[in-house]
């Protein structure tokens, strides 16, 4: 397993569609950090919208979106390179020119994108981080970071199996008066939202096979001068208490 990981990391270094940067490497001379504000001209060589997938994991959703929307540029972001390798390799072998991968901690987002450079964000099956709000990718902590790199009114999508994260995010959106375009606690029971149903991640297949419903939210990023963090009590996802392989559908 260790040798396999090392081989993947070596591949990641040579893939032309992968950019990697550690927190200690960020300075004015770092080539990856210098991409901020220049992704279109230096990598994509077009003026198409830029879409991020945060916590992209294996990258299959990033690659799938890039195939589905050739008139948009997609960047999958995650810190785990061994997982990201699969999507990066697939895109590299296919010669896809509208997809890239950025291996960084998502909290460092503002160091790699300029103001208004990003048009859209997808958050797909991220860890709900039930213990600490600031780690949730839909928290006001992260929303403030998205505001620094996204254009006004840009779209954010959340797909999740987690009732906890879905409930938390709905309350965050309500408290801060964000413009919600789509809201369902059972995506595949709806006749709408074809774009959100067109692709399924590895984990999404698992959750559906085990009887869990998929929740989906889509909203506009309206830049706020201040934001309120939800304080309501939310029931924890019981199946996650037993690890990812145990599933209880009692609270779905």
Q: Annotated catalytic sites, by residue?
A: 127
**Cβ atoms 227, 148 nearer than 8 A:** no
C-alpha dist (Å) from residue 158 to 31, 71, 138: 31, 22, 8
Residue 31's SS3 state is coil
Cβ of 52: how many Cβ atoms within 10 Å?
26
What is the distance between the alpha carbons of residues 93 and 112, in angstroms, rounded to a whole number? 25
* Token pair in block for residue 118: 């990003």
**Cβ atoms 213, 187 nearer than 8 A:** yes
Q: Where are the beta strands (DSSP E) in the chain?
A: 18-20, 50-54, 73-78, 99-103, 118-124, 150-160, 180-184, 215-221
* Token pair in block for residue 218: 């889509």
**Cβ atoms 154, 220 nearer than 8 A:** yes
| φ, ψ (nearest 5 deg) of residue 70 | -65, -10
C-alpha count within 13 angstroms, C-beta hemisphere, residue 156: 27
């Amino acid at each position: 397993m260790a040798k396999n990981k090392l081989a993947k990391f070596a591949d990641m270094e040579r893939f032309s569609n992968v950019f990697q940067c550690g927190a200690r490497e960020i300075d004015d001379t770092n080539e990856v950090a210098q991409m901020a504000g220049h992704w279109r001209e230096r990598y994509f060589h077009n003026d198409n919208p830029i879409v991020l997938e945060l916590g992209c994991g294996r990258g299959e959703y990033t690659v799938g979106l890039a195939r589905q929307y050739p008139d948009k540029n997609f960047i999958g972001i995650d810190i785990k390179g061994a997982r990201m390798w699969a999507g990066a390799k697939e895109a590299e072998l296919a010669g896809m020119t509208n997809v890239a991968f950025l291996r960084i901690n998502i909290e460092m987002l503002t160091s790699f994108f300029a103001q208004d450079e990003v048009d859209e964000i997808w958050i797909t099956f991220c860890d709900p981080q039930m213990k600490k709000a600031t780690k949730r990718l839909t928290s006001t902590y992260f929303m403030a970071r998205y505001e620094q790199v996204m254009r006004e009114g840009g779209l954010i999508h959340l797909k999740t199996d987690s009732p906890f994260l879905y409930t938390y995010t709905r309350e965050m959106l309500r408290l801060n008066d964000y413009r919600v375009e789509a809201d369902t606690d059972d995506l595949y029971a709806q006749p709408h939202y074809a774009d959100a149903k067109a692709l399924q991640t590895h984990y999404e297949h698992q959750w559906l096979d085990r009887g869990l419903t998929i929740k989906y939210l889509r909203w506009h990023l309206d830049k706020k001068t201040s934001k309120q963090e939800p304080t309501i009590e939310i029931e924890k996802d019981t199946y996650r208490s037993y690890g990812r392989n145990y599933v209880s559908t009692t609270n779905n």
